[in-house]
Structure 1
Amino acid sequence: MASQEMVDYERKMTKRVLWKLDSHVLPPLALLWLANFIDRSNIGNAKIVGLVTDTHLVGNQFNTALAGVYFSYLMVEMPSNWILKRMGANRWLPIIVFLWGTVTTLTGLVHNFGGVLGIRLVLGACEGGLLPGMILYLSTLYKRNELQLRVGIFYASASLSGAFGGLLADAIIKMDGVGGLEGWRWIFILEGIVTVLFSIMAAFILPADLASARFFTSEEREFAVARFNRDLPPSAVPTAEGEKNSLDEKQSESRREDATEDLISPGDVQEEHFEWREVMRGVLDIQVWLTGFAYFGFIVSLYSYSLFLPTIVAGLGYSGGAAQLHTVPPYVPAVVLTVVVAYLSDRLQWRGILICICLPVAIAGYIVAITAKTNTGRYAAVFLMAAGVYPSGPSILSILPNNSSGHYKRATTTALQLAIANCGGFVATFAYTPDQSPRYIRGHTIALSFLILAWVLTAANVCYCAWENKARAEGRRQDNITKYQELWDSGKTRAPIGDRHPDFRFVL
């Protein structure tokens, strides 16, 4: 009976803790990510209502300006994640959002190519730390099997941003002439101001960590920290040099069963110090490169889609407000599927497997876009593109937080994955050029090719994780403990053993 009461208590407290976390963390992050995508892609909406003409852009200058944001973006991702631990995510994330909101507002004042390019470079430097920071932040609040649903919820706001971006742009361009400014300038000014307001709101709501979250009662706070720490990898307890460290399977098992007595305290979890050895451990992880280049393939499709959908739709015969409004419907099924796939992923503990299921939908969309003979068929194709790519995003973003352990290794792997992936922005910005109008067959073919590459690399990562899990289950990684002990005894590391522990299992 006592045992049943404990089960009921844990279930009740888990619901309370998750509800409070979800209601205080996810809405601000969703708004920040919504603002991120709108501020990054609103230039596509501005393009079709006068930006190119008024700033005297010619040839591929518009595409060059788009590429500028990704150059500075990828340069700041890893340093930003290293800073995040020292500053606190609840301070650092709102600061960088405040800065890029200000920069977005200033975009409304540019008059030539130099101005557009310069402002996009600064925008990328301000925005680059947001996504890796949010992923790292969520991985310190939620257990491994709870992460993707939360990533999916805020990521769905990226799909919504495509819809809202079109609706907002259609409404804002009606301000053409107000204050002597063109309508496209007001798109940047007003959306930038809203971003600044979102950042201020987030600064007041987001908690620094579980141990200091003010919205928990003391009982909830202790339970939240305990349940999170029980999800940490088994820990090898370092001994003085010369002592034998008996970390056999029996002790590991007993440690997990008696987790409430052997918890790592919140202070211990936060006290891992920066080590270049942990950074290199992240850089050399094969999963970073497999998933990084797979996400590179996603990015070519995702970014070119968000940046050029208004242009593609305009090529179907729509113009002005009608073109803006026709960019909205394709995002609706993408939003729903993003959340549904994230829910299934956490329930099944599948990441890469679900990507391999979703990507063929987007691949089919690009094939339809290339081969369709009518505008109706081409418009239907953009629905398939979004429905396959957007739900795959949270899955690939959740792989490395789930499969990397040790704060600075995880900070490095999540940021490096995104730095590799965001290089796809350079390809995306030049995939759709004016000379391809109205069918954009070359652009679609480029995106299609990279999605096929992404599918192959994701499947390879799934196979690697399955192989490594099998090796660990068969006892072929037990020497990882000995190697770690030698590093500790020689003073070369004070980081936790993390994902090196033979009992740690990778999520597929």
Structure 2
Amino acid sequence: MSFPELSRDDGGDLHRKALTKKVLRSLDIHILPALSLIWLANFIDRTNIGNARIAGLQTDIHLVKNEFNTGLAVFYITFVHCRLLSSNWVLKKMGSNRWLPFLVFVWGIVTTLTGLIQNFGDLVAVRMIMGACEGGIIPGIVLYLSTIYKPHELQLRVGIFFASASLSGAFGGLLASAILKMDGVAGLAGWRWIFILEGIATCVIGFLSAILLPASLDTARFLTEEERMFAVRRFHTTELPAAEMPKLESSLSSGDEPSKVGERSTVDIDDASPAVADWVVQDKYEQFEWREIVRGLTDVQAWLTGFAFFGVLVSLYSYSLFLPTIISGLGHTGEKAQLFTVPPYAPAVVLTVVVAYVSDRYKLRGPMILMLLPITITGYIIIVAAKTNEVRYAAVFLMSIGLYSAGPCIFTLVPNNSSGHYKKATAVALMFAIANTGGFLATFAYTQDQAPRYIKGHSIVLGCLCTSWLFMAANVLYCRRENKARAAGRRQHNLDAYQKLWDSGKTRAPIGDRHPDFRFTL
């Protein structure tokens, strides 16, 4: 199949731009709403326990001392463990369009059953099961999007669906205040209806996402045949090392296989033959190798970003889980407390998308984080030092603004700077696994004995955020140094090392981010 209309004349350029715009618009319309609903449901179902707590959950199931915090913490035992497993193994085998909706549907059932718990043991059981279901969602979504969009189209899309996390904070409060009016219906307390109704909605979202999400670019039914091939070839429009391309016996004869890693094969949507375009195609042709898993586990950026993300998630989780409690500590109770949790999220929704656009536009991740985290840090300093509830409530806005807008920047750093499916999947999963251990700290940062000001909890989170800033600064410096070394030709030995692995038959994985021409996103 040829594309004479994609020639390099002016008409071809106009057609390419129009086709690019049309394909991206179709992808955005069919993929982003489903993922946004998944993430919205994910965050609401994970954090609605905070709304249920101030609505009577803790009293009705007779929780004492720090049992509520323990119930939150056990969520992260299975949550962290399943992040590695789902991203590395199951998602690759089942496909994102099947695995993600399956997890959504199961956790919807678990959320619904949470409305029936009677004691501390029941709470622990449902939270552990929910953690197992939710653990694969965000690394799966990020990995999935990285196979659909080019690296510097990625954060805007991540920002759009992540904005639904801040939206969930606002929507969750409004929804909880409305559902609480059902108190006594069918003999059930209002907080039980929060879990039951929101869990049923999550099941519906899981079912719909299974219908809407395509497995990959070349199987997107909402694109025409021309658009599918264009989308695939466009996705791989880059200059790649020849040995980076996985061999497809059906596409090329053995005589066409490159023999030297250093040889170059320029892949462009305008002049690449269909055979070459097919040869470069998706990561699904890459075979599993333990060597690639080890590369992912030893990725410097996965560790630096993971520890930076750790501090951010301590703040993010504690903020979303305990904001209703913090608000009630400012003197508000009942439905009024639920409603006061809504406004702090509104500016975060807008800024998250704006920051994502700017970050993609200028191809920056780390520097954006380094500018945004001080906003949240300032918010925590103010809430610790403030003497009035009005000032403390204003500080809550600053905490939300910097926190939620920085999230997508961190999400996309490792996917942007990793290449090869198994290496990328492992590095992404490792980053999230390290970061989500912050959930254990977050759930015990705010204990009941600190009420009403929670100075100890705020101080713990403040220290974590400052540490995050330092780790992110280290990652930016590492990427900058490595890019300079590659530009100066000091990483050419990577080609020889890879060539030896290839010739000895020890690898058939792509050279990926090891190639001297690969540049890291700061």
TM-score (norm 2): 0.94
Deviation (angstroms), 1:275 = 1.3
Find the aligned partners of 2:446 and 2:325 in 1 and give their Cα distance. Answer: 9
- 1:62-461 to 2 correspondences below 5 Å: 62-81=68-87, 82-231=89-238, 233-236=240-243, 245-248=259-262, 252=264, 254=266, 260-261=272-273, 262-265=276-279, 269-461=283-475
Q: What's 2:9 paired with? A: 3
Find the aligned partners of 1:305 and 1:394 in 2 and give their Cα distance. Answer: 17
Find the aligned partners of 1:2 and 1:113 in 2 and give their Cα distance. Answer: 67
The unaligned stretches of length 5 or more in structure 1 are none
The unaligned stretches of length 5 or more in structure 2 are 1-6, 248-253
Identity %: 61
AA at the equivalent of 1:289: W
Deviation (angstroms), 1:269 = 3.5
Aligned positions, number: 504
Find the aligned partners of 1:267 and 1:257 in 2 and give their Cα distance. Answer: 12
SS state of the match for residue 277, structure 2?
A: coil
Find the aligned partners of 1:235 and 1:152 in 2 and give their Cα distance. Answer: 33
1:192-242 Cα deviation digits (max 9, x unpaired): 0000000000000000100010000111111000000114853436999xx
Deviation (angstroms), 1:256 = 5.9
Deviation (angstroms), 1:294 = 0.4
Q: What's 1:17 paired with? A: 23
1:486 aligns with 2:492: no
AA at the equivalent of 1:373: K
Deviation (angstroms), 1:265 = 3.5
Find the aligned partners of 1:18 and 1:49 in 2 and give their Cα distance. Answer: 44
User: Residues 63 and 432 (structure 1 numbering): CA distance in 2 closer, same or farther, change over 3 Å?
Assistant: same
Find the aligned partners of 1:232 and 1:107 in 2 and give their Cα distance. Answer: 52
Q: What's 1:503 paired with? A: 517
Deviation (angstroms), 1:20 = 0.2
Q: 1:38 aligns with which of 33, 44, 56?
A: 44
Contact 1:480–1:500 at 8 Å: present in 2 too?
yes
Contact 1:235–1:497 at 8 Å: present in 2 too?
no
Deviation (angstroms), 1:253 = 7.4
Cα root mean square deviation, aligned: 1.8
User: Residues 61 and 209 (structure 1 numbering): CA distance in 2 closer, same or farther, change over 3 Å?
Assistant: same
Find the aligned partners of 1:54 and 1:96 in 2 and give their Cα distance. Answer: 29
1:377-435 Cα deviation digits (max 9, x unpaired): 00000000000010110000000110000001111111111110000000000001111
Deviation (angstroms), 1:270 = 1.6
Deviation (angstroms), 1:3 = 2.2
Q: What's 2:478 paired with? A: 464
Find the aligned partners of 2:295 and 2:439 in 1 and give their Cα distance. Answer: 26
AA at the equivalent of 2:284: Q
Greater shift, 304-313 or 474-483, is seen at 474-483
Deviation (angstroms), 1:8 = 1.1
AA at the equivalent of 1:218: E
User: Residues 233 and 323 (structure 1 numbering): CA distance in 2 closer, same or farther, change over 3 Å?
Assistant: farther
Contact 2:244–2:512 at 8 Å: present in 1 too?
no
AA at the equivalent of 1:284: T
Q: What's 2:251 paired with? A: none
Find the aligned partners of 1:255 and 1:272 in 2 and give their Cα distance. Answer: 18
Find the aligned partners of 2:121 and 2:271 in 1 and give their Cα distance. Answer: 59
Find the aligned partners of 2:137 and 2:23 in 1 and give their Cα distance. Answer: 25
Contact 2:177–2:339 at 8 Å: present in 1 too?
yes
Extract structure 1 runs of 4+ deviating beyond 2 A. 231-240, 243-248, 251-269
Find the aligned partners of 1:361 and 1:471 in 2 and give their Cα distance. Answer: 33
Contact 1:163–1:329 at 8 Å: present in 2 too?
yes
Greater shift, 2-11 or 417-426, is seen at 2-11
Contact 2:234–2:268 at 8 Å: present in 1 too?
no
Deviation (angstroms), 1:6 = 2.0
1:430-457 Cα deviation digits (max 9, x unpaired): 0011111111111111111111111111
User: Residues 426 and 291 (structure 1 numbering): CA distance in 2 closer, same or farther, change over 3 Å?
Assistant: same
Find the aligned partners of 1:160 and 1:77 in 2 and give their Cα distance. Answer: 24
TM-score (norm 1): 0.96
AA at the equivalent of 1:15: K
Contact 2:51–2:176 at 8 Å: present in 1 too?
yes
Find the aligned partners of 2:291 and 2:400 in 1 and give their Cα distance. Answer: 39
Contact 1:160–1:332 at 8 Å: present in 2 too?
yes
